[in-house]
Structure 1
Amino acid sequence: MATQKLIRTRPLPTELPAALQSLPPLLARIYAARGIQHDSQLARNVEYLLAAEQLKGMAEATQLIADHIQRGSTICVVGDFDCDGATSTALGVLGLRDLGAAQVGFQVPNRFEYGYGLSPELVADLPADIDLLITVDNGIASIAGVEAAKARGWQVVVTDHHLAGDELPQAHAIVNPNQPGCSFPSKALCGVGVMFYVLVALRRELEQRGWFSERTKPNLACYLDIVALGTVADVVSLDTNNRILVHQGLQRIRAGKARPGILALLRVAGRDHGRITAADLGFAVAPRLNAAGRLDDMSVGIECLLTDAAPLADFYASQLNEMNLARREIEQDMQHQALHHLDRLELDKDGLPWGLCLYHPDWHQGVIGILASRIKERVHRPVIAFAQGEQGEIKGSARSVAGLHIRDALAAVDVRYPELIAKFGGHAMAAGLTLRDGAFDDFKLAFDQQVRTMMREDDLQAVIEVDGELHEQELSLDNAWLLRKSGPWGQHFPEPLFAGEFELLQQRVVGERHLKLQLRTLSGRTQLDAIHFNADLSVWPSACKRAYVVYKLDVNEFRGEVSLQLMVDYLEPR
C-alpha cells in the first residue's frame, strides 16, 4: 500500500560560494545544497543569536514580569501538553525562580478535560491567589481565556509562536514572533525558544533595576539543553538562530551538564549522552515526554524536567518510558484498523480521497496525531484522524504534505460549511479541530473537495530529496563522523541523504519490524552493513538481488567496536 517515492537530487549552485571552498568537498556541496552562502549562516556561538529586543512586546512583557518579581507576586505558568509545551513550562518555572521570583507554579491543561490552550474552563479551575499568568507555547488564540483571567483580576502575558488569527487576545503583553507587526527576523522560534528570549530580556531588565546587587545573576545558558529539546521536538525550521540554540544545548548534554531529567530519559532510551545528536532528542527523548500528554497528564513530564534530584528524575523517566510503551501498543492497534480501512477504500473504483479522513469510536484521542502522521507517510496526502471526545464530540488531528496549508484548508471549509466545524487551529503542516455532532460524513466530503481545489495531482507524488550518489571512497567512517559533527540537522536543514543501487547479500528481520541488511557496491569491492527501521514487511525480505537505497551515513558503536553503517530511509527492489 505504501506510495512509491520519486527520488530527486537537490540542486547545487553553478559556483560554490567562497565561504565553503575551504571545507571538505562532500560537506561543501551539502551546505551549498541547503542555501549556505556566508560564514555567518554556519555560526554556532551564542553571540550570534538574534537580539531579544527585536521581538515585539518584549519591553512591555519584561517590565510587567519584573514588577511582579520585585513585589513577590504569585506567578502561574500555563503551558501545553506536547514536548514544546512541557519544555516551555519547565524553562519558565526554572528561569523565573532563578531570576528571583518567590512564588512560581504551573498548570498544563489535561487534553481530555480542557482541550488545548488557556480556556475559560481552565481559568475557572485555577487557584484564586494568582497575580500574574504567563502562557507558554499557547495563548495567541485564547481570546476568551485571557478575558476570563483578567475578569479574575489577574494580569496576563502571552508568550507563543503559533500563527495569530484575525483577533488578538487582550493580554497586558504579547511576545510572539508571528504576531502582526513583529519584525523579529526568525519566524521559526518555537514556544521554548520564545520563553528563553523572554528570560534573557527579563534578566537585563532586572539588572538595570539593580536587582542582582544582593543576589547572584543566573547563567541562563545552563537551560539551553531544555531549549534544544523543545526546538527539535516541535519540528520547527532549523534556521541559523535555531541551529545555534540546538547546537549549544547539545554541547551541554554531551558534557553531562544537562537537566537530570533529560539525562535520565536518554538512559531509559539506551542513548549515550556523550554522543547524542539532534535526532536522538527527536526520536528518543521527545516521544517519551509526549507520551505523558497523550495518555495521561503532562505534569509528569514537566516534573521530570524540573527536578534536581537524579533518583527522582530516574523515577519519572521510568514512568514516562512505560507510558511510551503503552502509547506504541495503542498506536499499533489503531494503525492496523486504519490500514484495514484503507485497503477497503483502495478497492473502491474511485480510489483514495485526496483529503483523507479516518474515524473509529474506539481510537484514543491522545494518539490520533501520531496515527495521522503515520498514515500520511504511507499514502502521501493530507490526513485527519478522528476520535470520540469526552463530551460526545468528535476531535480530529490533521497532518499535511507539501502543497497544502492545512489550517487554510480547514478555514476554507469552515467558511463554506459553517455548520460542520465547532473550532479549529493550527499551522501549515498540522492542525486540530472539533466537529459538531453528526458532522463527520459531511465534513469528510467537504474536506476532500477543498483539498482537490488547493492541490495538483502531482502534489500527491511523494518525493525524497537526496544529496546525490556517493563515490565508493566517500562511503567511509570518516565521512560519517564529519557529517555527525557538522549539524545540527533538522527541519529545513535536513540531515544528508544519499542514494544508489547496491547488491543485496543478506536480509533478515530483527526486532518486530526492522530489516538488517548486508550490501555490496556494484563494483564488488566494498561491503556495507545497513539497517532499515520500520520496514514494510509485506515487501521485505525480498527475493530480488539488487535494491535502490536511500540512506544516511551513520556511526555504529557496538561492544566497543566502531564501524560505518547505512541508515536506510527508503528501499526499492530492483
Structure 2
Amino acid sequence: MTPALFNVERSLAGARWVSPPVDAGAAQAIMRAHGVPEVIARLLAARGVAPGAVDSFLAPTLRRDFPDPFTLAGMAEAADLMAESVIAGQAIALFGDFDVDGATSSALLCRFLRSLGVEAPVYIPDRLSEGYGPNAKALRTLRAQGADLVVLMDCGTTAVQALQAGKDAGLALIVLDHHDASGPLAPADVIVNPKRADDASGLEMLAAVGVTLLFCVAVNAQLRRRGFYGGRAEPPLRDWLDLVALGTVCDMVPLKGPNRLLVRSGLERMARTTNPGLKALMEVSGLSEAPTVRDLGFALGPRINAGGRVHESDLGAHLLATDDAGQALDIAHALNDCNAKRRSLQTAMEKEAAAKVRALGLDGDPVIVVEDEGWHPGLAGLVAGRLKDRYARPACVVTYAKNGEGIVEGRGSARSVPGVHIARALAAAVEAGVLIKGGGHAAAGGFTLDPTKVSDLRDFLCACAQENVAEEGGPEETTIAGALSVRGAGPDLVALVHDRIGPFGQGHAEPLFALGNVRVWAADVVGSGHVRVQVADAEGGPRMKAIAFRAEDTALGQALLTAGSRPMHIAGALARNAWGGRVTAEMHIADAAFAGQA
C-alpha cells in the first residue's frame, strides 16, 4: 500500500491522502529539460506527460496540435456530401440536441453555412414533448418544409426508427455525434462518431461540438479543393472556437488531448468574442472579466440549458447563432429568467426526491430510482446528479409527459459513478424490453419507458450494478499532487499551474496540493457559510489566505474555526487573487487533518 502523505490515514473528510505514482526518471528529465519546479515536473509525469511532449502540453498550438479531421471514420464521405449539397444549392437543415453541446454544435454549423451563403434553419426538439434525439415527425416536417439534407448533431447515432422515417421521406442524413455507438447504427447516409467500432482516430474524447468543428474544417477543405471560393475569403473558423470551448466544457468530456487545446484556444477567443449571443449572455451573467472554465460550466452553460428545462429548447441555439445584438440581449434576458425559475424548481424537487428515497428505503439500493408525476421533466438530470453525489451510487429520476401522439410516457435521466457504465446498462434495458429507448455516456444517460415499468427498471438496473458497486471498506483515497510550504506556494507557481497546466475540468482535474504543519490564523465565517482563514508555516513567515466553501457546518469548517495553536495539514487547490494591482496566491481548501492526529 502506498504510504499516506503526512501520515494522514483519515482526514476530516474521511479520506486517506496519497501521492500519485510517478516515474522519477521522467520527472527528473522534465525538470532538467524545461526548468520547472520539481513539484510541477512530478505533476506532469504523474499525468502521463512524456518528457518529449511537455512543450505541446504546456503550450499547445492550433497549427501544430490540431487533429486531422479525416482520421475520423466517415468524415471524408460526410464532407463530400455537404460540399456537393452546398455547391448544388440544395436546402440544408440542422437538427441539434437541446443541451449546451447541441446548441453550440448547431450554432457553429449554422454560422459556417451562413458564411458560405447558406441559411440553414435550426431545429431543436422540445425537451418535454419530444424528448432526446431525433423523431420521425420532426424529420418529416423538415422534409415538408423543403429540406434536402439534414445534419443531426449530438444525437442520432442509434436512432434507427426516426432516421429510417427520414430516409423514407427522401432526406439525405449526416450524423455528427459522440454518444455510445455500441448498438445498431441508424440508417444515415454517413455517421461521424469517434465512438464507432470501426473508428481508429483516437478522438473518442471529443464532444459533439468538437466533431462539428472538425466537420467544418473538412468541408472547408473539400470546397477549397473544388475551387468554391474563387479567391473569396474562407470562413473564419478560428472565430468560432469560443462556441467549441463552451460546448466542450459543459458536456463534461475529458479535457485531454485535442479537447484541452480547443478549450484553451476557445477561452482565449471568448475573452475578445464578437458573438452577440455570447456577449449578451456574459453581460446578464455578470461576467466582466475573461471567462474561465468555471464560468462556462456554472454561469453560461446553466443559462443556456435553462431554456430547454423550463421554457423553449431552441433559445440557446438561436442566441448563439444570431448576429442581431438586440435580439441576442432579449434572448439572454429570457434565459436568465428561465435560470432563476429553474433554480427554484430544482431546490423543491431535490428535497422531494431525497424524502422519497428515505420514505421508500431506497438508500440501500445499488441504483436509486425515484419517480413522481408532478416533477418537471427538464430538471430530472440535475436532480439525478444531486442524488448520485449524495448517495455515491447511480441515480435515476423519472418524470412524466405526453409524447407527440398524446400518450403519457416516463422520461428519465440517469447519472452514474465510476465503475457503472450507465449507457450500457440503459442499452441492455432497451434490449430486455424494460425501456422504450435509452442511451448516453458512461456517466450520464437518458431514457423513455412505459409508466408501468418503473419497478422493473429499478430491479433491472440494481441487478446490473450490483457487481460494480463497491462494498464499504476503508477510507477513500485523495490524491495530492505535491507537498508545499506557504513560502513556496507563491504567485509564480500558481501562474504556472493555471496558465500552463490548465485549463482544468473533467478528466484533467485541478490538482490538489498540501501545506504541511501550518498554523491557522484569523478564522471566521463569511458569505453563505464559507470559512475564511490565513495560514503560515510553523516556523513563521508570510501568511496565505485560504477559504473552505460552504464548510461552516462540516467537520472541516469547525476544525478550521477552532484550530487555535494546533498545527494542521491543509489540502486544496491553488488560486490567484488579484486585488489593488497586487497578485497573491491563495488556497481553496478541500480537506485538512490535524498534524500528529491523522
Number of residue equivalences: 565
1:226 paired residue among 243, 247, 252: 243
Deviation, 1:298, is 2.9
Deviation, 1:407, is 1.9
Please tell me the residue identity of whatever aligns with 1:53.
F
Deviation, 1:518, is 4.0
Deviation, 1:315, is 2.8
1:296 paired residue among 268, 289, 311: 311
SS at match of 1:11: coil
Aligned to 1:113: 129
Aligned to 1:477: 491
2:41 is aligned with 1:31? no
Alignment partners' CA distance in 1, 2:317 and 2:235: 21
Alignment partners' CA distance in 2, 1:97 and 1:568: 47
Please tell me the residue identity of whatever aligns with 1:180.
A
2:176 is aligned with 1:162? no
2:543 is aligned with 1:530? no
Alignment partners' CA distance in 2, 1:435 and 1:310: 42
Aligned to 2:301: 286
Partner deviation per Cα, 1:21-47 (whole Å, 9 max, x = no partner): 324213222211211003264151112
Contact 2:486–2:544, Cα closer than 8 Å, also in 1 = no
Q: 1:449 to 1:329 in 2, by over 3 A?
A: same
Deviation, 1:228, is 1.1
Deviation, 1:455, is 3.2
Alignment partners' CA distance in 2, 1:538 and 1:8: 22
Aligned to 2:346: 331
Deviation, 1:112, is 0.6
SS at match of 2:146: coil
Please tell me the residue identity of whatever aligns with 1:72.
G
Contact 2:96–2:152, Cα closer than 8 Å, also in 1 = yes
2:498 is aligned with 1:488? no
Structure 2 stretches of 5 or more lacking a match? 1-11
Alignment partners' CA distance in 1, 2:478 and 2:14: 10
Deviation, 1:225, is 0.9
1:387-406 to 2 correspondence within 5 Å?
387-390=399-402, 391-406=407-422
1:305-316 to 2 correspondence within 5 Å?
305-316=320-331
Deviation, 1:360, is 3.1
1:11 paired residue among 3, 18, 21: 21
Alignment partners' CA distance in 2, 1:187 and 1:68: 28
Deviates most, 218-227 or 331-340: 331-340
Aligned to 1:171: 188
Contact 1:252–1:258, Cα closer than 8 Å, also in 2 = no
Please tell me the residue identity of whatever aligns with 1:122.
A
Contact 1:78–1:106, Cα closer than 8 Å, also in 2 = yes
2:570 is aligned with 1:554? no
SS at match of 1:425: strand
Partner deviation per Cα, 1:427-482 (whole Å, 9 max, x = no partner): 21111122322222333233223211233315996544331332222222222222
Q: 1:389 to 1:521 in 2, by over 3 A?
A: farther
Alignment partners' CA distance in 1, 2:462 and 2:522: 43
Alignment partners' CA distance in 2, 1:372 and 1:288: 19
Q: 1:410 to 1:534 in 2, by over 3 A?
A: farther
Percent sequence identity over aligned pairs: 33
Contact 1:110–1:296, Cα closer than 8 Å, also in 2 = no
Alignment partners' CA distance in 1, 2:473 and 2:330: 46
Deviation, 1:226, is 0.8
Partner deviation per Cα, 1:130-161 (whole Å, 9 max, x = no partner): 11100111110121121111222111111111
Structure 1 stretches of 5 or more lacking a match? none
Alignment partners' CA distance in 2, 1:370 and 1:461: 27
Alignment partners' CA distance in 1, 2:237 and 2:277: 18
SS at match of 2:399: strand
Alignment partners' CA distance in 2, 1:81 and 1:460: 41
CA RMSD of aligned residues (A): 2.7
Q: 1:471 to 1:512 in 2, by over 3 A?
A: closer
1:356-395 to 2 correspondence within 5 Å?
356-390=368-402, 391-395=407-411
Contact 2:131–2:411, Cα closer than 8 Å, also in 1 = no
Partner deviation per Cα, 1:319-363 (whole Å, 9 max, x = no partner): 222222222222222222233345557xx6x96222222333322
Alignment partners' CA distance in 2, 1:201 and 1:14: 42
Contact 1:509–1:541, Cα closer than 8 Å, also in 2 = no
Q: 1:20 to 1:56 in 2, by over 3 A?
A: farther
Alignment partners' CA distance in 2, 1:488 and 1:290: 22
Partner deviation per Cα, 1:518-553 (whole Å, 9 max, x = no partner): 445555544332333344746575264276643111
Contact 2:485–2:537, Cα closer than 8 Å, also in 1 = no
Deviation, 1:498, is 1.9
SS at match of 2:300: helix
SS at match of 1:552: strand
2:582 is aligned with 1:565? no
Alignment partners' CA distance in 2, 1:400 and 1:123: 32
Contact 1:383–1:398, Cα closer than 8 Å, also in 2 = yes
Alignment partners' CA distance in 2, 1:492 and 1:69: 38
Alignment partners' CA distance in 1, 2:578 and 2:474: 38
